[in-house]
Structure 1
Amino acid sequence: MKSAFTLFCTLIYFFANGQEIKGYIKNHESSEMDLVLMLFGMDNPIPIGTVQKNGQFTVNLENVSLENISVESKSMYIGDLYFNFFFSCGDYNAFGENYNKQAVRQDFIRMTSKGEWSGSVFLVSDENLRPWLEDPGYNNAVKGSFYEVIYLEDDANVKMECTNEVYITDEDKVETTYKFDLDLKKGFNWVQYTIEEVQDTDPNIRASFPSKVTISNLKDPSKMLWVGKYH
């Protein structure tokens, strides 16, 4: 991969439906590209917007069509909601009746050019979160937010708090807390992960990791930095 390009969204507008974001990607030194999701594999890209050569971009999750996705392809990737978050609870019962609603998450947005995967975009509030997202075992987490897309086949209201355990060594473990405050609609949704506390560790053993996180709907897209890597 070429060195990472940091894409700063200098002009961002978030419409009332919470689905469309427009902005300007500074230093987009490339050609026009499509922004796509690959929730159901690389052979099934789902267009959600474009990046123009001059850096202007638009993404919109409203009315995204899955008509070209086969039932077989969907069944290979879709699964229970409680499995489809970056952070998981220790007990699926914490999700109550929502635990097995069918969902699938997208970690980062792909960029394609003439149908070829040309790069990836990480959505973060702090550029220092990108290395951790790429390799959390060796790079330290920092306070801030990162953002993903999740697709659901039914509405789900997830309001609860749960804990999990993260092992530092075979003997030592730390309890982590995850607070879910989500109003998810059938279809595509933006999800915001806010890291409120980070557990410091011995870097010779493992990298520091989030110990307290709030998972919510996207609150303020003007705080999102679009950090891209090109192939």
Structure 2
Amino acid sequence: MFGLDNPVKVGTVDEKGNISIDFPEVLPDTIAPEPKEIFATQLPYALFFSCPDITSVAEGTVVYKGGYFSLSHQNRPWAATLFPVSDIGIIPWLEDRYYQSPIMASFYEVIYCEQNIDLTTLCKESISYTENTIDMEYQYTLRLKKGFNLIEYKIEAIQETGIPDTSPIPSVVTITNADDMDATLWHAKYYYSQFN
């Protein structure tokens, strides 16, 4: 959220690999003003999917984009990356949106809001490519509270761009609060084979 030097602890993993998420009520006091200022943004720029219709939403309200979930282990501050998804088949696309294909599934991100924000709107826009035009539709139903919020992006339709060697893109997406995490898969990608 504030770079590798300023991680924010949001949960634990037990010996059996069970993940418990527990967002703090407020940001830790250990985060200095400078990194907070660097990473401060507004809601439209913190969302994975955004469009021109929402650029004026909650103007002046500071939001912090959560970035990746990471697992830390003793002297390895980034031992693994956690991908909260409904289907692990979407992970290759999350890692490389330009050359991997998305699937109809959900993925999740966290943002921190300094004030409550409500956003309920249907946003439509068109993207023109060489061979065709893709109509995009983003349905936002967000009631964000002051503090940490987990957001679900549900891809409901996908279209080809018509450009060779270019992956298709999500064309219909619903963006909501992630209220029920029971079916969420927390897939870990480890960077070390040993942790001694």
TM-score by length of structure 2 reads: 0.89
Distance (whole Å) between structure 2 residues aligned to residue 62 and residue 43 of structure 1: 18
Distance (whole Å) between structure 2 residues aligned to residue 203 and residue 227 of structure 1: 31
CA offset digits 1:42-96 (Å, max 9, x no partner): 1001111111222132111142542111111101001111111001112445x54
After TM superposition, the structure 1 = structure 2 runs for residues 87-98 of structure 1, keeping only pairs within 5 Å, are: 87-93=49-55, 95-96=56-57, 98=58
Letter in 1 for 2:127: V
Q: Find 2:154's aligned residue among 179, 194, 202.
A: 194
1:144 offset after TM fit, Å? 1.3
Contact 1:82 1:99 in 2 (8 A): no
Distance (whole Å) between structure 1 residues aligned to residue 147 and residue 87 of structure 2: 28
CA offset digits 1:110-152 (Å, max 9, x no partner): 1111142111001110111101111011111111111110101
Matched, 1:86 2:48: yes
Which residue does the alignment assign to 1:44?
A: 6
Residues 165 and 68 of structure 1, relative CA distance in 2, 3 Å threshold: farther
Q: Find 2:29's aligned residue among 67, 80, 92.
A: 67
Contact 1:90 1:165 in 2 (8 A): no
1:201 offset after TM fit, Å? 4.0
Look up the SS of the partner of 2:48 in the other structure: coil
Unaligned runs of 5+ in 1: 1-38
Which residue does the alignment assign to 1:55?
A: 17
Letter in 1 for 2:91: R
Higher RCO (C-alpha under 8 Å, 6+ residues apart): 1
Letter in 2 for 1:61: F
Contact 2:99 2:165 in 1 (8 A): no
Letter in 2 for 1:155: N
Distance (whole Å) between structure 2 residues aligned to residue 224 and residue 90 of structure 1: 30
Which residue does the alignment assign to 2:118?
A: 157
Look up the SS of the partner of 2:9 in the other structure: strand
Matched, 1:132 2:93: yes
Distance (whole Å) between structure 1 residues aligned to residue 183 and residue 163 of structure 2: 29
Identity among equivalent positions (%) equals: 34
Q: Find 2:180's aligned residue among 199, 220, 224.
A: 220
Which residue does the alignment assign to 2:70?
A: 110
Q: Find 1:177's aligned residue among 137, 158, 176.
A: 137
Tell me whether 213-222 or 54-63 shows the greater mean CA deviation: 54-63
CA offset digits 1:160-218 (Å, max 9, x no partner): 1112343544x643121111101001110010111111113447241111101110001
